[in-house]
Structure 1
Amino acid sequence: MCELLGMSANTPTDLCFSFTGLTRRGGDTGPHKDGWGVAFYEGKGVRTFHDPEPSATSPIAEFVSQLPIKSKTAICHIRQANVGTINLSNTHPFTRELWGRYWVFAHNGQIPHFVRRVGMYEAVGDTDSEEIFCDLMNQLRQNLPRDAMPEQLARTLVSLAEDYAQQGVFNCLLSNGDWLFTFCTTKMASITRRAPFGPAQLADADVTVDFAAETTPNDVVSVIATEPLTADEDWDVYEQGEWKLWQLGEVIVAGKVEVPGNSHDRTPESMS
């Protein structure tokens, strides 16, 4: 299956520690070797990096892991391909413009034979994930006002996510830079770090960081991942159908919907 990584913080924060841990799973400690991508919001702009090579051995990933890019919201994805060929156009996260903002999306899962409804957004690559993203964007554009508040957006996003989850496995991260929407049908976990900060050890690399030396007492940084990235911290594991809308490191609205109970038994589970 693919793996996701998201960050929501109340102050510009670099993703180097978590990104380093995730990239090891892209062909070293994990099988997700079919490309990777990451998007960092900087104001209304988005700085993106993509590579169809395994993240564990990608010189670009190594370069990014050492860049102290500061962002309040970031989305990352490592891919194990099932639907769609291995190439640059099929690497997540995907980006589209809506209402003067860049929207970024990454998907872990598979919806076989997904059919996108008619709308202005079309896929560039040939993955079901990008088709789903375009369908989602078309539905938002057609059914919501430009000035929709986050809670109103959440209701529509949850309704769409619930529909997608009835058709297959749908774990996702979505943001427009102001908030981060997360939805789980199989696997997802999160951790919120705030004062008093302490050390943490990556589960997939011999790397430790002392967050107390890197933060201020007012910082709040939340990390969301498919699987916990550290070996010595308590992560909050999502339930099936659980969703959360994050803003500035905090959950501003959350809930749970019914999803098919056999999601864990689907084969392949999530490889788009």
Structure 2
Amino acid sequence: MLSDISSDILAFSFDGLSSPTIDLKFRAGPQKGDHTHGWGLAWYPADTRAAMVAKDPAARDTVSLKDAMSDWEGFRSTIFFCKVRGAASGYTHLETQPFTRSFAGQDWVFMHNGNLDKNALSKLHHNKSIFLEPLGRTDSELALVFLLGRIQDAGARTLAEVDHKVLAGWFGQLDDLGSADMAISDGVTLCVFYGSNSQSELYYSRLKPPHEDEAFTSDAASFAISNPRDTFRTALVFSSSPFQTGEWTKMQGGQLIIARRGSMVWTNKDAVKPKTTPASQQVAPAATAALRSRGFNEAQAQSQQLSIAQSLQQMGNVSKYVINTRSITQTPDGSPLLYRLYDLVHSTEYAYEKLVEHSTHIFRLLPVEDQTQEVIHSTLSLSVEGEDVRFEDVFGNQNIHYSIIKPYKSLTVSARSLVKIYASPPDDYRHARRQATIPISWMPWQNQMMEPYMLLLEMPETQISELMIYAQSFSERNGRNLMETLNDINQTIYRDFSYIPGSTSLSTTPFDVYASRKGVCQDFANLFICLARLLGVPARYRMGYIYTGANYENKIQSDASHAWAEVYIPYIGWRGFDPTNGIMVTQDHIRVACGRNYLDATPTSGTIYRGGGKERLRVQVTMNEVFQT
């Protein structure tokens, strides 16, 4: 094994333009002769594809580094590479990292900590293009042109165009030739590889806002995200040494992490995967339970299920032409689609200090009736007599306007519904009209119809600009893929924001939630809606309920009305995203009212014209899945 030159590396991937204060530390210890440390810093000013590099191969301190970072406007970037080389002599700018190379219309930045067998690497680099010849004499630059050669051979122009496993395989080839701690970026994607034979360590951490003035310090470097414009930036940071604050994870030998816009998009080790059960094991028990709920015993249910499956096979492609979604009984792979039956009770109790002499109320408590949701039975009970007017509002919600002129001190409103939720086949986005990328192209009349779901809440321009940067970071790191972007927003709000009841109010704006990183379901729905609209995707607010059950992993909002977001996708329709729980809306949710925002869809609202005084409110929701025997 070749002995590594002692080096420290530091790499950043931010979700938006940032200018961290960075100070690289020279390791303590005696130096011999003319040996110097040297340092290098690379970034992409203003998020362009042209990289800026500052180097000092003969440095004995970091004064020149701080001078290079003095122009803060020119120092703003989403990608940063830093390296301090250990003691060595004879190095020039050609051999000082990070290296840059213009290729495929952009600058590529690369750094390497370790030593590779240069002779073996020269044989491995079979792409002899005149544009892929190393300028210096280091194994590190030869590794860079090897990777670029592989990218050219694959017909790719960016890292995002290369299959993740293929990319890991290329790093694996370098890993076989020595110690290969490496980082490479094309200005958008950051790839960091930790070699199996490394004689040093490599750590990573995801730093979430809001950031304070506190600096992060390690043996290798110190940095702070202290620029006021960067208060809400998210960063994925890689370092040779863990910092004293934050949660740092040590990379495993042979691990590749691919990051984009402040978030990990792929890794070949320690990937967080939800616990799933194969469909073949899931379907039978669920199917049997659903059939039992319709009056079959277990043996009859299994026999009926087999009979249905055989009938569906005989039908061939007939289900392709079924218009009623409830009549589609299987997915394209043959898995049964079964309904779930829920018993829902929503009770609201008002108590007042003084008699209420006159009040009016709006109740939106009747679940939606459509192709995937069927209301078998629904009743509304009120403890005080009044005059009711039933109507459908402009959003399609069923409303009851209730006027009370009889004095009262307490009012109980109780709604009970028995609801079926039908399963649907997965959406197919392969059709050309079902646009898969952002921005979405709309016809003029579609724009006019969707205008209410595209307008933002009034907020200061600076706040909207900050939210726009945040929204675009999701689109950028997902290659502008529509569904991947929306799923990323959904998962990120669930992961990065804290559910804290009472931390917000009806006047809380999406920016307030973004800045504080906390809220409740309606806040997370509003933030999701705001980000989707900023990306040109129509979004609306949905009120309803969620069933969590005994075995459900996340029980947030199981005992009250729930809120989530719905987006309109061309030639698909409205689809629900629940950022409070980080899931898509399927058969766990009962849909009730929708609108532009909370005020359009609130379950109960009203006005007291005379009397009342101080009010006490109590809301109770119970939702149970029904299995009939």
TM class, shorter-length: 0.7 to 0.9
Equivalent position to 2:134, from 98, 101, 123: 123
Equivalent position to 2:236, from 222, 236, 251: 222
CA contact (8 A) 1:191 1:223 kept: yes
Shift of 1:168: 0.5
- Structure-2 residue corresponding to 1:98: 103
- Structure-2 residue corresponding to 1:270: none
Partner Cα separation in structure 2 for residue 206 and residue 123 of structure 1: 29
- Structure-1 residue corresponding to 2:556: none
Q: TM-score, normalising length from structure 2?
A: 0.36
Partner Cα separation in structure 2 for residue 48 and residue 244 of structure 1: 23
**Cα offsets for 1:210-238 (capped at 9, x unmatched):** 75966344x2112111112x323221211
1:37 aligns to what SS in structure 2?
Answer: strand
Does residue 1:107 correspond to 2:126, yes or no? no
Partner Cα separation in structure 2 for residue 149 and residue 49 of structure 1: 24
Does residue 1:156 correspond to 2:166, yes or no? yes
- Structure-2 residue corresponding to 1:38: 41
Q: Residues 113 and 209 from structure 1, CA distance in 2 versus in 1: closer, same or farther, beyond 3 angstroms?
A: closer
1:6 aligns to what SS in structure 2?
Answer: strand
Amino acid of the structure 1 residue aligned with 2:96 = T
1:130 aligns to what SS in structure 2?
Answer: helix
Q: Residues 249 and 30 from structure 1, CA distance in 2 versus in 1: closer, same or farther, beyond 3 angstroms?
A: farther
2:174 aligns to what SS in structure 1?
Answer: helix
Bigger radius of gyration, 1 or 2?
2
Equivalent position to 2:218, from 187, 203, 206: 203
Q: Residues 91 and 209 from structure 1, CA distance in 2 versus in 1: closer, same or farther, beyond 3 angstroms?
A: closer
Number of equivalent positions: 247
Does residue 1:253 correspond to 2:253, yes or no? no
Shift of 1:67: 4.1
- Structure-2 residue corresponding to 1:171: 181
Shift of 1:202: 1.8
Does residue 1:243 correspond to 2:244, yes or no? no
Task: Please provide the CA RMSD for this pair.
Answer: 2.9
Partner Cα separation in structure 2 for residue 81 and residue 157 of structure 1: 32
CA contact (8 A) 1:34 1:81 kept: yes
How do 1:33-72 residues align onto structure 2 when only pairs under 5 Å count? 33-42=36-45, 43-54=48-59, 56-68=60-72, 69-72=75-78
CA contact (8 A) 2:25 2:221 kept: no
Amino acid of the structure 2 residue aligned with 1:194 = K
Q: Residues 122 and 103 from structure 1, CA distance in 2 versus in 1: closer, same or farther, beyond 3 angstroms?
A: same
Partner Cα separation in structure 1 for residue 221 and residue 97 of structure 2: 27
Partner Cα separation in structure 2 for residue 226 and residue 92 of structure 1: 15
2:110 aligns to what SS in structure 1?
Answer: strand
2:183 aligns to what SS in structure 1?
Answer: strand
Equivalent position to 2:206, from 192, 216, 240: 192
Amino acid of the structure 2 residue aligned with 1:139 = R
CA contact (8 A) 2:159 2:186 kept: no
Partner Cα separation in structure 2 for residue 206 and residue 124 of structure 1: 29
CA contact (8 A) 1:190 1:225 kept: yes
**Cα offsets for 1:112-155 (capped at 9, x unmatched):** 23432232211111111111111111121122333x67163533
- Runs of 5+ in structure 2 lacking a partner? 1-5, 271-629
CA contact (8 A) 1:77 1:93 kept: yes
Partner Cα separation in structure 2 for residue 255 and residue 206 of structure 1: 27
Q: Residues 30 and 154 from structure 1, CA distance in 2 versus in 1: closer, same or farther, beyond 3 angstroms?
A: farther
Q: Which has the higher contact order (CA 8 A, sep 6+)?
A: 1
CA contact (8 A) 2:15 2:234 kept: yes
